[in-house]
Amino acid sequence: MAGAKGILGRKLGMTRIFGDDGTIIPVTVVEAGPCPVLQVKTVENDGYEAIQVGFDPIPDRKANKPNRGHQAKAGVGCHRLLREFRGPVEQELGQALTVDMFAAGDKVKVTGTSKGKGFQGAMKRWNFSGQKATHGSEKIHRVPGSVGHCTYPGKVFKGKKMPGHMGAKASTVLNIEVVEVRPEENILLLKGQVPGPKNGYLTVRKIEGR
Amino acid sequence: MNAIQNIEQEHLRLDMPQLKSGDTVKVYLRILEGEKERIQIFQGVVLRLHRGTTDATFTVRKVSDGVGVERIFPMHSPYIERVEVVTRGKVRRSRLYYLRNLKGKAARIKPLDQK
C-alpha cells in the first residue's frame, strides 16, 4: 500500500525460527492491523495532514459516547486504540491499512510502552556503579553517592539522575528487520525484541528516506 | 498465543526419531564448503534432551582420540540431514553428565533389553 506510514499492532510474544540457511532467528510475533482510517485530517480543517487509524475492534457499547460518535463517521465500528500518522494523505475514510505495506527484509521502527519497573534505585535505573561490596563498606552498597557540588553552585542541578519510577514509558527501537509478513493472519515477524509486555500495543513505522 | 504455536509448528521437523538420553546416535550433518555440500557424521551418546518446540536441542558426546567432544544440536535444524539411532541405552537418569568423569570401559552404556 503506497503512502502508508505505518500500522498499529499488538505484541503476541516471542519465539525462534530457522532461517533459510539454517540459522536460528529470534522473532517477535506482532499482530498488526487491519487498521481502518477513521479520520482524514487536512490542512484546511486541522492545520496539518494526517490520517487517524484505529486498531483492536470493540463493541460499540464499550466505547464512550464521544468516541462512539467520532468513530461512527467512518462507519467501520469502534476501536480501542486510535493513533495518527502524519504526512500526505493517500487513503480514504474507512480504508484499512494492512501488513501488506511491509515486505520481508524491510527495516522498521517500533514504538511501544516499555514494561513498568516501579520505583528503582540509581544502579538499575541509570546504570550507576554503586559502592564497594567489601573493604569496610558497611550497609552502603547501592546508594547513588554524592549528588551535588560545593558552596558554589550550592544546589543540585535539575535533571540529576536519581532513583525514581522506571519503565512504563514510550520507547522506540530503530532498524528492526521484518523477517516475515503473513497477510492472511495479519501477522508480522520482527527480528529481535520490541518494547513492552505481551499484548502491549505497538506502532510499527516505515523508516523514511531509505 | 495460538499464532505463535502455528508459526512454530511450521518450523518443526516431524521426521526426527524419538530420542532418549543414553541412546547412541549418528547425526548426519550437512556441511557447506563454499559451493559444495557434504555430509558429516557425528556419532555418540545422547547426554541430554532439552525439550521444547523450535528451541529443542539434544547434546551428543563422543570421545575422539581420547578427547571428549560434545555438540549441542538444535532438534529441528534444517542442517541436520537425518538422525539414526544405533542403539537404545539403558540408563537411570535423564542427564548423563556423570559420563564426563568416566573413561574407557566405565563409560559404556548397557543396551536396552529388547524383551
Q: pLDDT tens digits, residue range B28-59?
A: 998 888 888 889 999 999 999 999 888 899 99
Nearest CB to A18; choose among B3, B6, B11:
B11
Q: Find out whether B6 and B34 touch, Cβ atoms under 8 Å.
A: no
- pLDDT tens column, A181-191: 998 889 999 99
Q: Give contacts of B 74-113 with A, CB under 8 A.
A: 74, 76-79
Q: Are A202 and A10 in contact (CB under 8 A)?
A: yes
Per residue, what are the HEC states of chain A?
CCCCCEEEEEEEEEEEEECCCCCEEEEEEEEECCEEEEEEECHHHHCCCEEEEEEEEECHHHCCHHHHHHHHCCCCCEEEEEEEEECCCCCCCCCEECHHHCCCCCEEEEEEECCCCEEECHHHHHCCCCCCCCCCCCCCCCCCCCCCCECCECCCCCCCCCCEEECCCEEEEEEEEEEEEECCCCEEEEECCCCCCCCCEEEEEECCCC
According to DSSP, residue B53 is labeled S
Q: Where are the domains of chain B?
A: 11-101
Sign of the dihedral defined by the CA atoms of residues B17, B21, B22, B27, in that order? positive
Q: ipTM, 2 decimals? A: 0.77
What are the chain B neighbours of A185 within 8 Å (beta carbons)? 3, 6
Task: Give yes or no: residues A123 and A45 share one domain.
Answer: no
- Looking at residue B11, its pLDDT comes to 86
Q: Using CB atoms, which residue from B3, B7, B30 is nearest to A17?
A: B7
- B67 at A interface, C-beta within 8 A: no
Chain B residues lying within 8 Å of A16, measured CB to CB:
54-55
Find out whether A93 and A74 touch, Cβ atoms under 8 Å.
yes
Q: What value does the mean pLDDT take over residues A197-208?
A: 90
- Is there a single domain that holds both residue A41 and residue A84? yes
List, for residues A114-146, the tens digit of each pLDDT value: 999 999 999 999 999 999 999 998 899 999 999
**Is the same domain home to A108 and A193?**
yes
The CATH number corresponding to B11-101 among 2.30.30.790, 3.90.1150.10, 3.40.1280.10, 3.40.1080.10 equals: 2.30.30.790
Contacts of B50 in chain A (CB under 8 A): none
The verdict on A119 and A174 lying in the same domain is yes
Reported confidence tier of residue B25, pLDDT bands at 50, 70, 90: very high
For residues A191 and A207, state if they share a domain: yes
The type of residue at A108 is: V
DSSP state of B111: B
Contact assignment for B54 to A16 by CB distance below 8 Å? yes
Strands A170-182 and A187-191: antiparallel
User: Do residues A54 and A70 share a domain?
Assistant: yes
- A191 to each of A1, A16, A25, how far by Cα in Å? 22, 9, 7
Domain of A60: which CATH number?
A: 3.30.160.810
Shared domain check, A63 and A9? no
Other CB atoms within a 10 A radius of the CB of residue A166 amount to 17
Q: Which domain does A69 fall in, by range?
A: 34-97
pLDDT of residue B95 exceeding 90, the answer is yes
Out of A18, A31, A185, name the one closest to residue B78 (CB): A18
A144 falls within a domain: no
Q: How confident is the model at residue A3 (pLDDT cuts 50, 70, 90)?
A: low
C-alpha cell at A155: 544546589
Residue of chain A nearest B74, judged by CA positions: A24
pLDDT of residue A87: 82
- B11, B50, B73, B75: which to substitute to probe chain A, counting the most A Cβ within 10 Å? B11
The 10s digit of each residue's pLDDT in A73-127 is 888 889 999 999 888 888 888 888 888 888 888 899 999 999 999 999 999 999 9
pLDDT band at A33 (very low <50, low <70, confident <90, very high): confident
Rounded CA-CA distance B46/B59 in Å is 6
Min Cα separation B9/chain A (Å): 10
Contact criterion met (CB below 8 Å) for A115 and A196: yes
Instruction: Pick B3's closest partner by Cβ from A22, A24, A185.
Output: A185
- pTM exceeds 0.90, yes or no: no
DSSP B112: P
Mean predicted lDDT score pLDDT of chain A? 89
CATH of the domain at A193: 2.40.30.10
Residue that the C-alpha cell 505463535 belongs to: B4
Residue whose entry in the numeric block shows the C-alpha cell 509486555: A197
Shortest distance, CA A63 to any CA of chain B (angstroms): 26
d(CA A201, CA B103) in angstroms, rounded, equals 56
> Would the CB atoms of A13 and B8 count as touching at under 8 Å?
no
Query: What's the gap in Å between the CA of A191 and the closest CA on chain B?
Result: 14
Q: Do B7 and A15 touch (CB under 8 A)?
A: yes
Probe site for chain A from B31, B54, B55, B79 (most A CB atoms < 10 A): B54
Q: Are residues A61 and A120 in the same domain?
A: no
B3 shares contact with chain A (CB less than 8 Å): yes
pLDDT band at B114 (very low <50, low <70, confident <90, very high): low
Per-residue CA distances from A63 to A72, A154, B108 (Å): 11, 53, 69
Count of structural domains, chain A: 2
pLDDT at A1: 44
- How far apart CA A71 and CA B54 sit, in angstroms, is 42
Q: Are A119 and A206 in the same domain?
A: yes
Grid cell digits, residue A106: 524491510
Let me know whether A190 and A103 are in one domain: yes
Do residues A105 and A10 both lie within one domain? Answer: yes
Q: Are residues A39 and A71 in the same domain?
A: yes
